[in-house]
Structure 1
Amino acid sequence: MEAGVPEEIGFQTKIEIALDQIRAAHAAGLPRGPVLMDAGYGPHSDLRTAVTALGLPYVAGVLSNTTVWPPGTGPLPPKASTPGRGRPTKRLRRDAQHRPVRIKDLAFSLPARAWRTITWREATNGALTSRFARLRIRIARRDFDRSEPCPEEWLLIEWPKDEKEPPKYWLSTLPKNIGFARLVDLAKLRWRIERDYQELKQEIGLGHYEGRGWRGFHHHATLCIAAYGFLISEQETIPPSAARRAPPRAQLALP
């Protein structure tokens, strides 16, 4: 049985699909905000670079083997040229004394005063609290192919006291003056996205589709998402959400 996939639709990785969706939202003029990525997307430097090129900050989960330059360190400048020895090199350098470190190793090297206990939200069973550290770093990935160091950004590390090692790390291009608690709050906002998916699948019926057609699936998904958007907008009119409800947004033209 043919699924009816349009001929112009080709294979895309999930990273390519995500970037296309971000670009479409950006082009449509949707309200701007930080792009949140879990550790399935955050380690892809091309995605982070493309998001930055759109003028959007990100908070991206990354893996413990990500390499960075700690505060006050960085790659060596390009080697000075020698007259008569060809074209001068423009690439940054490393040597035995100038090497980036894994963020896991950096976390273990931090002093006790670097860690702060922060509560980011109230949950059913009480406040959600953990221990965090943050510092300004530079990404080191393939910077030996660059002529200038990567810009500074935030590295946020979560390390609960009952864990043997930090379970989560984030990179963020949010402003340098952002509050510590606010940075944690945004990093932890991924739970809201996961909750949206859960409610869409279980309560609205997104996961109930049993057809095999491209057109039918997209009709089903569109109706589910529209219904969920309506329910969320109605929920905002019910206290306590109503007390801090944002002003109505301008309606966007439908394609």
Structure 2
Amino acid sequence: MQRQYTGTAGRVENSQVGVFLAYVSPAGRAMIDRQLYLPETSWCDRPNRLAAAGVPDHVGFATKPALARQMIAAALDAGVPFGWVTGDEVYGADPGLRADLECRGIGYVLAVGCDRRVHVNDGRTLIRVDELAERIPTAEWQLHSCGPGAKGPRDYLWAWITTTTTHPGEHRWLLIRRKRTTGELAFYLSWSPRPAPLHTLVRVAGSRWSIEELFQTGKGQVGLDHYQVRGWTGWHRFITLAMLALAVLTILAAQQADTGPEIIALTVAEIRRLLNAFVLATPLPPAHTLHWSIWRRTSQA
């Protein structure tokens, strides 16, 4: 099961595209659901090709936001506790996803393009978000960090504007992020059934970075992309097992006690190394393996 894709490789490549639902909390983060995206042309319009790949008869074309809506609904129905959802422009542009979240009382901070229009002044004015950003006084921009990144804290300037609501008791904002060095802007539609401070919206927007970190960790630690399956069943089996392995490592890391400043706590990567050494590889003396674990974590500290 493959599709042609032109992306960061700079050329047309065979690929499989999945939509993933990630759960982020102070204790850790993990992928909790996945859906394989089938393009409308070249796949969903070719029944024989679908049958050859083992795609069930009831599966038809669904956009990426539609797949996200299915996974979020399944998580809510299963009792997974969460209060916010975030996603990139593909998902922020979908009115059905936003409506679903509002109906279920789940707040969101979803990225949108610079040409998105919003209602302000009690609905009297419809304006593009980039034009609205130009009218914000310099003093209104506030410095906030949306979390640690690979190169340190991700500090940006932020502004927020109340937009027109449609129902009593709800709260809507346009959240704008400005890069301090280049002035580059990013825009988010935000909604909540209850009041929320700016730093909460910033934290939710910044949590989307966790998706990229999860993909890096998943590929590096549990082989999320190390497969050559070409069928519907094989893809779902492999991806599910990789997600499960990553979740187990995340839980084990979250359960570690604080070790103090002299040595960092066991990380996902270090736990995977220890499991490989004790369970999968030719066993070395436990003292030898533990010695190198302590050496690595002490050096990192």
TM-score (norm 2): 0.64
How far is 1:10 from its partner? 1.4
- 1:9-56 Cα shifts (integer Å, max 9, x gaps): 112111111111111111111112201111121011121111211221
The answer to whether the 8 A contact 2:147-2:207 is kept is no
User: Does the C-alpha gap of structure 1 residues 107 and 39 become closer, same or farther in structure 2, counting only changes over 3 Å?
Assistant: same
More helix by share: 2
User: Does the C-alpha gap of structure 1 residues 219 and 176 become closer, same or farther in structure 2, counting only changes over 3 Å?
Assistant: closer
How far is 1:176 from its partner? 5.6
Q: Give the structure 2 partner of residue 228 of structure 1.
A: 246
Q: Give the structure 2 partner of residue 203 of structure 1.
A: 221
Q: Give the structure 1 partner of residue 295 of structure 2.
A: none
- 1:205 aligned counterpart, secondary structure: coil
Query: Which runs of structure 2 are paired with 1:159-238 in the superposition (5 Å)?
Result: 159-166=178-185, 168-174=186-192, 177-238=195-256
- For 2:235 and 2:149, the matched residues in 1 are separated by 34
1:56 corresponds, among 99, 103, 106, to 106
How far is 1:214 from its partner? 1.4
Q: Give the structure 2 partner of residue 84 of structure 1.
A: none
Q: Give the structure 2 partner of residue 90 of structure 1.
A: none
User: Does the C-alpha gap of structure 1 residues 7 and 122 become closer, same or farther in structure 2, counting only changes over 3 Å?
Assistant: closer
Tell me which of the two structures has the higher relative contact order, counting C-alpha pairs closer than 8 angstroms and 6 or more residues apart.
1
- For 1:123 and 1:164, the matched residues in 2 are separated by 19
Q: Give the structure 1 partner of residue 141 of structure 2.
A: 115
- For 2:184 and 2:122, the matched residues in 1 are separated by 24
The answer to whether the 8 A contact 2:87-2:109 is kept is yes
Q: Give the structure 2 partner of residue 137 of structure 1.
A: 163
- 1:192-215 Cα shifts (integer Å, max 9, x gaps): 122112222332112111021211
How far is 1:138 from its partner? 2.4
The alignment status of 1:126 with 2:152, answered yes or no, reads yes
- 1:58 aligned counterpart, secondary structure: strand
- For 1:239 and 1:123, the matched residues in 2 are separated by 23
| Equivalent residue letter for 2:180 | K
How far is 1:219 from its partner? 1.1
- The alignment of Structure 1 onto Structure 2 pairs a total of residues equal to 210
Q: Which runs of 5+ in 1 are unaligned?
A: 76-98, 140-145, 242-255
Q: Give the structure 2 partner of residue 249 of structure 1.
A: none
User: Does the C-alpha gap of structure 1 residues 184 and 158 become closer, same or farther in structure 2, counting only changes over 3 Å?
Assistant: same
- For 1:235 and 1:137, the matched residues in 2 are separated by 41
Q: Give the structure 2 partner of residue 43 of structure 1.
A: 93
- For 2:184 and 2:225, the matched residues in 1 are separated by 36
- For 2:83 and 2:117, the matched residues in 1 are separated by 27
- 1:138 aligned counterpart, secondary structure: coil
Q: Give the structure 2 partner of residue 86 of structure 1.
A: none
User: Does the C-alpha gap of structure 1 residues 115 and 217 become closer, same or farther in structure 2, counting only changes over 3 Å?
Assistant: same
- For 2:96 and 2:257, the matched residues in 1 are separated by 42
- For 1:161 and 1:131, the matched residues in 2 are separated by 6
- 2:163 aligned counterpart, secondary structure: strand
User: Does the C-alpha gap of structure 1 residues 226 and 165 become closer, same or farther in structure 2, counting only changes over 3 Å?
Assistant: closer
- 1:134-166 Cα shifts (integer Å, max 9, x gaps): 111127xxxxxx9x89x6401110112332452
Q: Give the structure 1 partner of residue 290 of structure 2.
A: none
Q: Give the structure 1 partner of residue 71 of structure 2.
A: 21
Q: Give the structure 2 partner of residue 4 of structure 1.
A: 54
Q: Which runs of 5+ in 2 are unaligned?
A: 1-48, 260-301
- For 1:30 and 1:18, the matched residues in 2 are separated by 15
TM-score (norm 1): 0.74
How far is 1:4 from its partner? 1.2
